[in-house]
C-alpha cells in the first residue's frame, strides 16, 4: 500500500517520468464558401496549410513538433436568409477530402443527404491521420457535393473544422 501512495505522490508532483511527453490542443478553423448555380466554392481551403499554420502558431505550436493531427468535428452551416432553398437539402453526396503533393487524397468526412429544414449539420469525421499531409506541405482541403437541384440564388455556407493536435513536448 505504501508503494501506491508513493507512486501517486510522485505522479502528483510530476516527478515520475522525464520532462517530455505529449500535449493535446484543439484548433478550430472556419472557412467561408458559396454555392451558386452549379458550383460549390470554398476558396480558403485551397491554401488550407496557411490557415492551419496560423492556427497552430496562435496556440504556440511549431508544425515540426506535431505528432498527430486529426479532424474531430466538421460542422456545415447555411448562412443565407430569405433564399430558396432555405436548408441544406440541395446538397447530396457531400465529401471533404485532404490532399497534398505526393499523397493520395484522404476522405475526412461525408454525408449522403441532409434532412429537410436542416440549416446546419455535424458530419461524422473519418479516423484519418493528417500528419503526413502537414509534413508534405501545401495541404489542401476540398469540399465537394452534387447539387440537386442547383440553387438559383447565391447561398453562403460556412464550414467549421475542429482538429485534435498531439504535440511533442520537451
Within a domain: residue 8? no
- The pLDDT of residue 122: 97
Choice between 65 and 22, residue whose per-residue pLDDT is larger: 65
Q: How does the average pLDDT of the chain come out, rounded?
A: 87
- The pLDDT of residue 22: 66
User: What is the tens place of the pLDDT at every residue in 112-141?
Assistant: 999 999 999 999 999 999 999 999 989 999
Within a domain: residue 104? yes
Sheet containing strand 140-147, edge to edge, reads: 103-111, 91-100, 140-147
- The pLDDT of residue 152: 86
Instruction: Kindly write down the DSSP assignment for every residue of the chain, as one continuous string.
Output: -HHHHHHHHHHHHT-SS-S-EEEEEEEEEEEEEEEETTEEE-GGGGGHHHHHHHHHHHTT--GGGEEEEEEEEEEEEE--SS-SS-SSTTEEEEEEEEEETTEEEEEEEEES---TT-SEEEEPBP----HHHHHHS--EEEEEEEESSPPSS-EEEEEEEEEEEEEEE-
Within a domain: residue 151? yes
Q: How many domains does the chain have?
A: 1
Within a domain: residue 9? no
Within a domain: residue 101? yes
pLDDT over 80 at 70, yes or no: yes
Within a domain: residue 14? no
Within a domain: residue 6? no
Query: Cα–Cα distance between 117 and 144 in angstroms, integer?
Result: 21
Number of residues that this document lists for the chain: 170
- The pLDDT of residue 94: 96
CATH number of the domain that residue 62 is part of: 2.60.120
Neighbours of 105 (CB within 10 A): 13
Q: Which structural domain, as residue segments, surrounds residue 137?
A: 20-169
pLDDT over 50 at 159, yes or no: yes
Gyration radius (Cα) of the chain, Å = 20
Smallest CA-to-CA distance from 77 within 122, 39, 127 is with 122
Contact criterion met (CB below 8 Å) for 160 and 74: yes
- What is the pLDDT confidence band of residue 37, given thresholds at 50, 70 and 90? confident
Amino acid at each position: 500500500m505504501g508503494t501506491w501512495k508513493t507512486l501517486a505522490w510522485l505522479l502528483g508532483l510530476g516527478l515520475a517520468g522525464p520532462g517530455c511527453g505529449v500535449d493535446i490542443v484543439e484548433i478550430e478553423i472556419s472557412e467561408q464558401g458559396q454555392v451558386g448555380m452549379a458550383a460549390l466554392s470554398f476558396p480558403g481551403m485551397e491554401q488550407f496549410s496557411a490557415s492551419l499554420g496560423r492556427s497552430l502558431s496562435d496556440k504556440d505550436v511549431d508544425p515540426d513538433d506535431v505528432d498527430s493531427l486529426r479532424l474531430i468535428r466538421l460542422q456545415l452551416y447555411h448562412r443565407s436568409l430569405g433564399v430558396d432553398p432555405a436548408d441544406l437539402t440541395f446538397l447530396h453526396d457531400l465529401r471533404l477530402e485532404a490532399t497534398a503533393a505526393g499523397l493520395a487524397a484522404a476522405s475526412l468526412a461525408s454525408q449522403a443527404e441532409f434532412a429537410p429544414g436542416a440549416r446546419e449539420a455535424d458530419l461524422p469525421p473519418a479516423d484519418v491521420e493528417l500528419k503526413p499531409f502537414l509534413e508534405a506541405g501545401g495541404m489542401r482541403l476540398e469540399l465537394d457535393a452534387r447539387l440537386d437541384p442547383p440553387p438559383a440564388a447565391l447561398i453562403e455556407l460556412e464550414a467549421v473544422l475542429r482538429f485534435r493536435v498531439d504535440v511533442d513536448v520537451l
